[in-house]
A and B are shown apart, each in its own frame.
Chain A
Amino acid sequence: MSRLKTLRKLESILENFLTRVVETEQGRMTTLKSVDLLDEIARDSLKGRIVSNRLGDWFANNRNMVETKKFDLSSLESIGNMLSEIRPGLDPGDPVSRKLSDQIDSWREKGVIPRRKLILKMKPKVSDDNLLARFTDYLGREAKLLESGEYEGRHLLQILDDILKSAAAKEDRMFLHLAGAMIYYLKMYGYKVSPFARRLKEIEKEKSGDCRAE
């Protein structure tokens, strides 16, 4: 076989492989497309642009997918957050916008999309517990969380991703500690952890910013 023919064959094999990957990821693409479109609408809404028509179209195309929970939880959370950002920008004097606001409220009421959490913060009481007792309390709670069955069958990297999300969303500093411990453990066994370490640093930075703002 000539060099050109060999290369043509390799080209065809690689193109077929990539086409099949895209076909396999069709479901994920549909989800990402919907979330991406809503993301654009949310960004325009934050810039003060009128988005009611586009949002109406988005609801028309995605209502069933959301209501039947065809989206994964993380996408539903993103959708919930974006709708919470769009909702205050909708004009209450416009009937179409009012209808869309009602739709968003109804989804929240029914729990179709997760509610946005309102976190009230206060400075922690100065504890007189000893440091070791608090440390072992963390370890105990962390072990309990990991053994709860929630993470059964999942890779430690996937669990770490979840723990980092919890660390960002929750006030409990145990998640920060657990994420740090997991990152160090994975690093010991040669896993690439720098993106996770970066995320942890960003979360810590945000948290310490929150504390200063209080």
Chain B
Amino acid sequence: MLSDADKAYYRALQALRDKDYRAAAGFLKYAENQFADMPELGILRGSTELLLSVKDEIYELENETIEIEEILINGQETEFRG
């Protein structure tokens, strides 16, 4: 049978291909613990997790912008909630 570590690595690659980075990070973390002889998995996991953080940060910044715009459209800039 295919080992759990191989399965995790395969699922991680599939998730990366499908741009499902959250799932990929989980599979990579599991695979990294199993494959002690593949330090490159650490780089891959680190990059995926960094990308997730960047995406979260972008999401927060974009939502912040939308909120400020709504206040200006009303024409009553009584308080700044950004």
Contact = CB atoms under 8 A, between A and B. Distances in A.
Partners in one complex: yes
Interface of A: 3-4, 7-8, 10-11, 14-15, 17-19, 21-22, 25, 28-29, 32-33, 35-36, 39, 42-43, 78, 81-82, 155, 157-158, 160-161, 191-196
Interface in B12-62: 13-14, 16-17, 19, 21, 24, 33-37, 44, 47-48, 50-51, 54-55, 57-58, 61-62
B6 interface: yes
A28 to B, nearest CB: 8
Nearest to A85: B1
B73 interface: no
Given A32-B6, A191-B36, A22 B13 contact: yes
Contacts of A17: 47
Nearest to B5: A195
Interface of B: 1-2, 6-7, 9-10, 13-14, 16-17, 19, 21, 24, 33-37, 44, 47-48, 50-51, 54-55, 57-58, 61-62
The 7 closest A-B pairs by CB, nearest first: A32-B10, A157-B37, A14-B51, A39-B2, A22-B17, A195-B36, A11-B54
A32 B2 CA distance: 8
Given A36-B10, A81-B1, A10 B36 contact: no
Contact of B7 (A10, A36, A161, A194): A36
26 contacts: A4-B58, A7-B57, A7-B58, A11-B54, A14-B47, A14-B51, A18-B16, A18-B44, A18-B48, A21-B16, A21-B44, A22-B17, A29-B13, A29-B14, A29-B17, A32-B10, A35-B2, A35-B6, A36-B7, A43-B1, A78-B1, A81-B1, A82-B1, A157-B36, A157-B37, A195-B34
B54 A39 contact: no
Contacts of B16: 18-19, 21-22
Nearest to B37: A157
A161 B37 contact: yes
Contacts of A28: 13
A11 B14 CA distance: 19
A15 B6 CA distance: 23
Contacts of B36: 157, 191-196
Given A14-B54, A15-B51, A36 B2 contact: yes
Contacts of B21: 18
A77 B61 CA distance: 51
